[in-house]
Amino acid sequence: MKATTSLFVTTFIVGLLTVSAAFAQDFDLVINNGRVMDPETLFDDIANVGIKDGRIVAISSDPLTGAETIDATGQIVAPGFIDTHFHFQMPIGYSLGLRDGLTSSMDFELGCAGSYIGDWYEARAGVTGPNYGCAVSHELARAMFIDGFDDADVLKQGPLAALEARKNTGWSATRPTLDQGNAILEEIDKGLQAGAVGIGSTVGYMRSGVSAREMFEVQKVGARYGRATGAHTRYTLGTDTSEVNGAQELVTNAIALGAPAIVLHFNNPGWRVTHEMITGLQERGFNIWGEVYPYAAGSTTINAEFLVPEVWLDQFGNRYEDTMLDPVTGEYYTLDTYTATIASEPTRPIVVFKMPEEDQAKWLTLKGVTMASDATAATPYDAPWDYPFDQLGGTHPRTAGARGATIRLGRENNIPMMQLMSILSYTAAKHLGDTGLKFMQERGRIQTGMVADIVVFDPVLFTDNSTYENGAIPSTGMKAVIVNGQVTVRDDVLLPVFAGQPIRFDPEDKPRFEPISEAAWNAQFSTGMPGDFTGAFPVDGGN
CA distances from 348 to 139, 163, 166, 208 (A): 18, 8, 10, 22
Long-range interactions of 50-53: CB distance < 8 A, separation 24+: 50/21, 50/24, 51/27, 51/452, 51/454, 51/482, 51/485, 52/24, 52/26, 52/27, 52/28, 52/485, 53/28, 53/485
- Using DSSP bridges, classify how beta strands 349-353 and 324-325 pair: parallel, antiparallel or unpaired: antiparallel
Spell out the SS3 assignment of 113-138: CHHHHHHHHHHHCCCCCCEEEEEEEH
pLDDT band at 527 (very low <50, low <70, confident <90, very high): very low
What pLDDT digit, counting tens, does each position of 407-431 carry?
A: 999 999 999 999 999 999 999 999 9
Fold for the domain defined by 2-74: Urease, subunit C; domain 1 (2.30.40)
What pLDDT digit, counting tens, does each position of 8-30 carry?
A: 344 444 444 444 444 445 899 99
Strand partners, 55: 52, 451
Task: Note the pTM of the prediction, 2 decimals.
Answer: 0.90
Are 455 and 78 spatial neighbours (Cβ–Cβ below 8 Å)? yes
pLDDT of residue 305: 82
pLDDT of residue 6: 44
Alpha helices in 290-365 (DSSP H): 309, 320-323, 335-344, 359-363
- Give domain limits for the chain: 2-74, 80-296+358-444+497-503, 298-354
> Omega of the bond prior to 380 within 30 degrees of 0, cis?
yes
Spell out the SS3 assignment of 433-496: HCCCCHHHHCCCCCCCCCECCEEEECCCCCECCCCCCCCCCCCECEEEEEECCEEEEECCEECC
Q: Average pLDDT of 100-120?
A: 98
- Using DSSP bridges, classify how beta strands 493-494 and 486-490 pair: parallel, antiparallel or unpaired: antiparallel
| C-alpha–C-alpha distance, residues 53 and 331, integer Å | 50
| C-alpha–C-alpha distance, residues 92 and 266, integer Å | 27
Q: Is 203 helix (H, G, I), strand (E, B) or coil?
A: helix
Are 230 and 199 spatial neighbours (Cβ–Cβ below 8 Å)? yes
| C-alpha–C-alpha distance, residues 15 and 62, integer Å | 12
Q: Is the pLDDT higher at 10 or at 146?
A: 146
Q: Average pLDDT of 502-518?
A: 95
Specify the DSSP class assigned to residue 425: I
| C-alpha–C-alpha distance, residues 12 and 20, integer Å | 12
- Using DSSP bridges, classify how beta strands 43-52 and 324-325 pair: parallel, antiparallel or unpaired: unpaired
Weakest-pLDDT range from 35-39, 110-114, 323-327? 323-327
pLDDT of residue 298: 85
pLDDT of residue 25: 59
Q: Is residue 539 pLDDT above 70, yes or no?
A: no
Within 192-325, strands assigned E span 198-201, 228-231, 261-263, 288-292, 297-301, 324-325
Q: What is the mean pLDDT of the chain?
A: 91
pLDDT of residue 9: 45
What pLDDT digit, counting tens, does each position of 302-333 carry?
A: 988 888 999 889 988 889 999 999 988 889 99
Q: Is residue 166 pLDDT above 70, yes or no?
A: yes
Q: DSSP secondary structure string, 158-174?
A: GGGGHHHHTTSSHHHH-
- Side chain identity at residue 310, one-letter code: E
Q: Is the pLDDT higher at 5 or at 262?
A: 262
The CB density around residue 281, as the number of other CB atoms within 10 Å, is 18
pLDDT of residue 8: 39
Q: Is 349 helix (H, G, I), strand (E, B) or coil?
A: strand
Fold for the domain defined by 80-296+358-444+497-503: TIM Barrel (3.20.20)
pLDDT band at 299 (very low <50, low <70, confident <90, very high): confident
Specify the DSSP class assigned to residue 40: T
Q: Average pLDDT of 221-225?
A: 98
Q: Is residue 244 pLDDT above 80, yes or no?
A: yes
CA distances from 101 to 94, 305, 490, 529 (A): 10, 33, 11, 53
Q: Kindly tell me the sign of the dihedral angle through the C-alpha atoms of 96, 369, 111, 109.
A: negative
Specify the DSSP class assigned to residue 342: H
pLDDT band at 123 (very low <50, low <70, confident <90, very high): very high
